[in-house]
Amino acid sequence: MPTALEELAVQASTCVACRLSEHRTQVVFGMGDPAADLMLVGEGPGAEEDRQGLPFVGRSGQLLDRLLLEEMGRTRDSVFIANTVKCRPPGNRDPKPDEVETCWGWLEQQLDLIAPAVVITLGNFASKRLLGTDVGITKLRGSAYPYRGGSLVATFHPAAALRGGGAVLAQMRSDFVRAKLLLDGHGAGR
Ligand code: URA
Ligand code: SF4
């Protein structure tokens, strides 16, 4: 029997609800442990993600894997990684507001089914959409927010650390530690 999350992935794989469906190779639904206590939400697939059908498998993904391991002792198979829009915006342009809204239903169902204790949002698009705010990531990061019965930690997108260097990376590290402390305080195994 397929799980509810597997069924959702099958449904999403043929989604043509917004114009991003026209340019994608495939829908990048997300990957990881369907019962994960930690979920990470990025912006949208890039070229490599569109090719492989998996989230964060390019340079940003390598940095994300490093941060998970070095600051939280976690590997990507023990968390769930998804994106705000599930199809690659052409030329890696920003997702448009109507695309984020149209795609929200998939992410919302993922959040409901996985029900993580902690969500880390990576960058402006995920952080603003999940928190329902126009406040930018520079202001949002550095705090944890109550979210869907758990907590949300907003941090920069790894691409910003790749561009911006040490200061951004140091702030991301402290945000990942913040998420780890929340998970540790949340009780064994959850
Ligand atoms: N950037 C994102 O926001 N998501 C990915 O999956 C890859 C790069
Ligand atoms: Fe559907 Fe989301 Fe892809 Fe748009 S980006 S076609 S809403 S899966």
* pLDDT score at 190: 37
pTM: 0.96
DSSP 81-113: EEESSSSPPGGGPPPPHHHHHHHHHHHHHHHHH
Count of C-beta atoms within a 10 Å radius of residue 18: 18
Strand order in the sheet with 118-122: 31-32, 80-83, 38-42, 118-122, 150-155, 144-147
Q: What is the pLDDT of residues 98-132, one digit of tens each?
A: 999 999 999 999 999 999 999 999 999 999 999 99
Q: How far is the CA of 8 from the centre of ligand 1 (A)?
A: 20
The closest of 139, 121, 136, 127 to 179, measured between CA atoms, is 121
Residue 44 Cβ < 6 Å to ligand 1:
yes
- What is the C-alpha separation between 45 and 51, in angstroms, rounded? 9
Which residue, 45, 49, 110, 57, is CA-closest to 83? 45
Query: Which of 16, 93, 103, 108, when mutated, tests ligand 2's pocket best, judged by the most ligand atoms within 8 Å of its CB?
Result: 103
Rounded to the nearest whole angstrom, what is the distance from the C-alpha of residue 122 to the centroid of ligand 2? 19
SS3 39: strand
The domain that holds 106 is classified in CATH as 3.40.470.10
Count of structural domains within the chain: 1
Ligand 2 atom with least separation from CA of 18: 4
Q: Quick one: pLDDT band at residue 70, thresholds 50, 70, 90?
A: very high
Ligand nearest to the CA of 43: 1
pLDDT for res 189: 39
Q: Which ligand is nearest to the CA of 24?
A: 2
Residue 186: what pLDDT? 57
Q: pLDDT, tens digit, for every residue of 151-182?
A: 999 999 999 999 998 999 999 999 999 999 99
Range of the domain at 53: 4-186
